[in-house]
Structure 1
């Protein structure tokens, strides 16, 4: 990864470069717009000077040629400006789409383990504010910087060919503005943009968490404290925004002072050239007005440079999410072998510890789940139950021992194909805002209505939605707001069962449910999962007949148990 303060990270830059043709064309149109505007002002200056001279000496003057040129340049500027906006925003929207796809594609595989270090509000801030900063890099930073740089080069060339002294003066002024304005606008930008982004993230997280926890805040009479904290976060954001604007104002002041010094000097150089008859008065007027136009265009340098550095900082923050420095243990070599259709899942003398911890949550743990067998693993919190699921999902690999499926080491299997063999019900499986059909199609996008109804019948939810009137189109609300906790859990289970996978992994499937609802759900799971291998992680007591074998995880080892819930 490259330095986030100078450029976009390498992987993220690849996403931007997918649209390089549109980006190049948009920048070319922006340059054409600037050139047309500069030429328009220069030609107007030439025309006005020549007309004034013609009027004062009573000489004949051709008004039609310059007037036609002015009208032509006006139309070119209007059309190129319109085309640049159209194409530039099209490229920006495409870039915004691809950045979000890139982010989700990289972040979602980390969700079970690697994203737990982030607050939800922080992830939302990065998804929204940081991606917005990056997807606007074309219209706010890259386009203006490159177009103005090209304009300055062409204007300096024209001035040098006409009057070398004028070209040298313009070059010095442009180099001064080009160096001073970005420096003033982006001094200590890494700290400023980083602190600004962090402050905005903390404010967004506080708002989001306050909205989610409003009932608890009211119940505990903590709303006033939360509002005070929110006010402090707002002042913090305002502080960094003011500092950013002050730096931009300093850059604008430097640009104005440089312009104020350059224009009189340029006028003196051009008048001297006219007096020495090295250039005509009308041409000198055109060069002077061209200088005015170029210096005005340079006012975009400071905000564009600030936007570029902000985008680079935001891109680095996005990379921190999808490329964490301290990941879960390495997956090791990524295999390419397709997994068998069915088989036993075998944890053989597994040793596993999380990064930064010397404690082995699994220390010589062994477990074999035969095809079609249902197994329960229980244990106290922190004993390593979820680590078993992480290993089974292939999200990490053990430091010693191995995990095998149908006698194939998981490290030799293609990860994407391996995940097609798994139906997973996480502890906090969400119900998404939408219809029943839309939620179930996440399990199998190609499932027809008959199959969806069968999945609902397996978890005893078919009658609930038949009676609702809208059937599969019944709206379930945000986080399943129209459903009870048990119904939401069953809907998530139906979604998992729709995956035609031989292995079903269930993480605390009865969490948050009352005992009667939990027992009913587990009996339905036993019936619905008939013929599949099932690994259930739970600390709850299961009803009789739900599992075939029962283990308890203690001190890193799995011990076979007999008791309620085993056959």
Structure 2
């Protein structure tokens, strides 16, 4: 089986195919039992009434039909229970695997290919679209398949009883079960696509408004934002109203056609009894079976709408994840070489320009970083510092030049191989809602408590951790319960837990006051434990933090 980062969307459903098949079978059994129950009950009641009126109660077979009714009732109850159990179990498993699949496919696209997609839009895909897709089988495909099974079974039964009734049921199935629902979803792909996009826009606005609530308040811009949200909400409501109108129109047509069909089946049943000797009980059973089918077909419109919405949502998810990643593994990754004469990281003649820009950000850049050496790279905003870190992380590849590790081109290695050599602290390293231990173990999932306390000591957070609840203390969303300096030290501790020999720090003192930043930097050489350091920073550094400082200017490095 393909890895989740390569597998298509259909593989998520294929992995649970037996649960889905079982759900459809149970759904079909429930519907068949319900339809047969109503038909048998109607025929039994009619026969009982006629037997009583004719004074033939003593010769009337009461036990066989009543036993059939009890059996069908029990079958319907049991199959209904297990259909819900199996169907919802499959849906929950699919919901879990869809999110894993989406993350596995989307994460390699960050930041290059996802950089142009707003975070709120991604959130809408993750929440709204996946919610439409994960219930696709239970809400749409399963019911439609089961309806088809029940309809075929009912047509066969009606044909055996009285073939004109079967022809009428076939006509009703085509009109009520197919034509009317398809009329309800006409233009469905376009309408559902517009609805999904409007819902995504509303979620995006709400998300970005909450994220930037402090800035909106400071700029007194809450009113303008609320107006935008209200307008987006009105558009969503308009799309939902149109969707409901289509469904209500279909229900009206269903009611009219069902009424006409019921009158017609009664006429056919009466004619069959009068002209062809059709038994009254069988004639009544045909009428009651038709009532059950009409009720069953009433759900076809909603199922078709769910099917169209799920298809549109699946296409939106595919549009995100089917983008080609900026960097991919070689077809035959080479094993990582041992350190030889050319050890450490080296860049030779690196040239890189972002797509659509003629002017390169880096142009002929050279750099050598020996084992255990500490280097800092500064420069003005926009000079290419962050671009350089992206190239070292292999989130993009240069158009010219080479990046070598121990003399080996990084493009020969699998991304996972290279990333195992790195301990990275990004510029905006977040603190997640969770315990201190959970945040730290993002750097090394297998680290025991002793290792966590060791790294906390190295970044001078151990005393604070002991005083505030230890490793199990709760850290709020985005580090709401810690100071800025503590959050940066925590991010550094997380990076140091990585066993890679090369530590890459991107603006480690961003947002810190001078005293806090200097205290963090002063502790850095000891915290590294002899590992190499490449630090991207625009701040002045205290003496002794690094061995060499460079300035990035004009796409090249100048030694300070």
* TM-score normalised by the chain length of structure 2: 0.93
- 1:131-210 equivalent positions in 2, closer than 5 A: 131-210=130-209
Q: CA deviation at 1:138?
A: 2.2
Q: CA deviation at 1:217?
A: 2.3
Q: Is the 8 A contact 1:182 1:251 kept in 2?
A: yes
Q: Is the 8 A contact 1:334 1:412 kept in 2?
A: no
Q: Is the 8 A contact 2:329 2:415 kept in 1?
A: no
Q: CA deviation at 1:445?
A: 1.6
Q: CA deviation at 1:534?
A: 1.8
1:297 matched residue in structure 2: 296
2:518 matched residue in structure 1: 519
Distance in 2 (CA, whole Å) between partners of 1:46 and 1:14 is 47
Q: What is the CA RMSD across the aligned residues, in angstroms?
A: 2.0
2:56 matched residue in structure 1: 59
Distance in 2 (CA, whole Å) between partners of 1:25 and 1:157 is 23
- 1:460-479 equivalent positions in 2, closer than 5 A: 460-468=460-468, 470-479=469-478
Cα 1:113/1:486, change in 2 over 3 Å:
farther
2:393 matched residue in structure 1: 393
Which piece of structure 1 moves more, 479-488 or 250-259? Answer: 250-259
> Which blocks of at least 5 consecutive residues in structure 1 are unaligned?
1-8, 563-567
Q: Is the 8 A contact 1:341 1:421 kept in 2?
A: no
Which piece of structure 1 moves more, 362-371 or 423-432? Answer: 362-371
Distance in 2 (CA, whole Å) between partners of 1:113 and 1:521 is 31
2:559 matched residue in structure 1: 561
Which piece of structure 1 moves more, 194-203 or 135-144? Answer: 194-203
2:115 matched residue in structure 1: 116
Cα 1:357/1:122, change in 2 over 3 Å:
same
3-state SS in 2 of match to 1:11: coil
3-state SS in 2 of match to 1:226: helix
Q: Is the 8 A contact 1:334 1:415 kept in 2?
A: no
Cα 1:315/1:534, change in 2 over 3 Å:
same
2:439 matched residue in structure 1: 439
Superposed CA deviations along residues 386-418 of structure 1, whole A, max 9, x for unmatched, are: 222222222222222222211221121122122
3-state SS in 1 of match to 2:523: helix
Q: Is the 8 A contact 2:46 2:281 kept in 1?
A: yes
Q: CA deviation at 1:300?
A: 1.4
Aligned length: 550
* TM-score normalised by the chain length of structure 1: 0.92
Q: CA deviation at 1:163?
A: 2.2
- 1:290-369 equivalent positions in 2, closer than 5 A: 290-324=289-323, 328=326, 330-331=327-328, 333-340=330-337, 343-369=343-369
Which piece of structure 1 moves more, 15-24 or 339-348? Answer: 339-348
Q: Is the 8 A contact 1:425 1:493 kept in 2?
A: yes
Distance in 2 (CA, whole Å) between partners of 1:35 and 1:418 is 58
Q: Is the 8 A contact 1:553 1:559 kept in 2?
A: yes
Which piece of structure 1 moves more, 28-37 or 67-76? Answer: 67-76
The alignment status of 1:20 with 2:22, answered yes or no, reads no
2:41 matched residue in structure 1: 44
3-state SS in 2 of match to 1:354: coil
2:245 matched residue in structure 1: 246
Q: Is the 8 A contact 1:394 1:415 kept in 2?
A: yes
Distance in 2 (CA, whole Å) between partners of 1:347 and 1:278 is 95
1:3 matched residue in structure 2: none
Distance in 1 (CA, whole Å) between partners of 2:159 and 2:223 is 67
Distance in 2 (CA, whole Å) between partners of 1:104 and 1:371 is 34
1:98 matched residue in structure 2: 97
Distance in 2 (CA, whole Å) between partners of 1:299 and 1:291 is 12
Which piece of structure 1 moves more, 139-148 or 266-275? Answer: 266-275
Q: CA deviation at 1:332?
A: 6.4
Q: Is the 8 A contact 1:431 1:439 kept in 2?
A: yes
Q: Is the 8 A contact 2:433 2:477 kept in 1?
A: yes
> Which blocks of at least 5 consecutive residues in structure 2 are unaligned?
1-5
Q: CA deviation at 1:476?
A: 2.0
Superposed CA deviations along residues 34-77 of structure 1, whole A, max 9, x for unmatched, are: 00000001101211221232233322322222112111111111
